[in-house]
Chains A and B, each alone.
Chain A
């Protein structure tokens, strides 16, 4: 068999089905791994590990959910070896039996659909087939953390009803989220050592996308959307997709100068309450983030968690284990509430030229207006001082806000939730449907399941 690798220049990666996810070329290890994204796998984290507590969390969830189907992503993958082979997660069910399984004719319902995208051009539905590739991180070392499951759903053969219905979505809430992202982008211009910062944007899906779009170009965006949409889904992921279609040109734009912060984008709706209602499809899932070791390997020492306006001043329940591990691993973990990013106070009418106006510090350019930290240019430039991040002087001398700052004093602390705690005999995955596969259930396995590293 001859080997004649095609020239990457003439054989663009975007057209190749096997995407390289990890690569090693060092004295300890030489090798690589690939995923065939077009097979629409439930991808697994390649750069980190899953703690037992998270697995227990999954089991607890399943126990709480009775017979509910739970799209649990990696947690399910790690549990799969102990799970009955006659059950499937929501995602597996959709991948096997169709994206709209059990929809019973219920259509996808969208709001605020538009015909153009964020750069003003007409929406081109060709993007539906390659959204997962389009939004893949440019940096190879970040690709293992990219979870494109939701974006991949658009290319599924069974996604015809979704593709027929979906268009870009845009509304005032997205404009506001985008403008808030742009406010942070403006601040990043004076941040020292930006490559040591990871933003974890955890907002309702469409707003998370819009916030990331506001930051686009100044950060390396890595999406973590790990489910498929469903017309009766607990998680309205189809709206997240519609927002991603609107902002795709911005999110896929060339990146600004390195070094840049990392921006991990999550859908806060992934763990919306669900009480086993028979008319809903449980497409919830647990977030997957790089673990401490992986973040450190990327040079990251600070994590800034971006929480939604009105949310509690703490990380989402399914992130508690990971965030506590971050802190215990020596990472700085802090909290930013988007409610603290406020529409700029009206410019003073004095005409003085101190540069003390919102517009003079602008540059964010989002259509939702100019948002500033605590609504004032002076407070805005106090932002990095508040968080204790090394930075240069902004265009204005910062002034500490008078009022409370959301999340001040926040510190990740172990807490009980539906995602932590007691190990349970997790029954509750829906029985699988259709034929069984034909492969042998037994090969050369000696039952080994650990101790493989030899170190």
Chain B
């Protein structure tokens, strides 16, 4: 192919992701996006201008060398592309799928000024999938063993990326996970149709082959405390996530048929309730039912689309603000709409109404309107007096966010946390108030993103490595 000019590149339309048609995919739990073919990937890669000063890299929280890896894709050198990606991103197959690209790398891509931005996420996913399918396991460069031992608490993206870096630095690493499977939100929260579990398991297997030890069914704070870990390990990293579900705190919330998003998604993903009775854990029968999901983030989209796949007749998002304020990824909102999810905006739930057997039958909502902008510039929803509606429902999922689970800090008195229970760290090193203990991911930031959690894990790994070489620097 002759070298294209920038002008020509700018004119190529973005290559859309092949996907399962909506009417088919709402009947299965398989991945919606099917992935680029080699041809599509190479053509999309041609759209990148290979900017001298790539702003996209600044938009990426871990500074993936975007133009470099995309150039390799354009040239068909996928192995090289994968190696470049892996230098900065330990989980490209995951991030390519779930990063909010429109707010990060793709938001600033210069092509996006005149045309749609380069599909950086789709390309990242392509490269990672290609590598997993075609190259299999390859041993990365490993530093000689140091004899130092690190305990990682929590097997989510923060813990896994920290573990991956530390093992390559030559330290012994053990990951302690409360649940029976490793992966954190990637396993129990994000559904199969968005992130196949096979991918997460492949990443975990890779770490296992590098020598990381995994201990599941191990709740730090209860099975063993952080202080006890410190007697056996030279350093501890805490990446326990934001796993405490918030409820609305309105009357009727304990009626039957009302779930937190965590429970709803855990039953379906981790416990595989969609395979009941092959899997023992049930989920309520949603065939022909009306389901309301409260919230506007990725979690809400995952829950409402899961409800559809479980047979719901009507699946609704009920959100206090408007579409513009919804924090969910644009792709998820688009997919949800295509699948027939109903969006009810500017509505705040006031009360759940139940029947004599205790099942939820309706929700009373207060209609809102956007008021004056507040300090943050966002227009705050304010109630419209007297505008109250009753929406009949058979089930509800509350997806309004998560706080921090108190088990760790309640059992580790000298670990400093803020008033929301988030662990306080030095942002440069992820050091906590307790010597030898580092933390990162959602437990520090509150619910955020996979890539930020991963970045935090890597930053901590670097600091832990320095600390292990010289504990006096604390």
Check if A and B associate. no
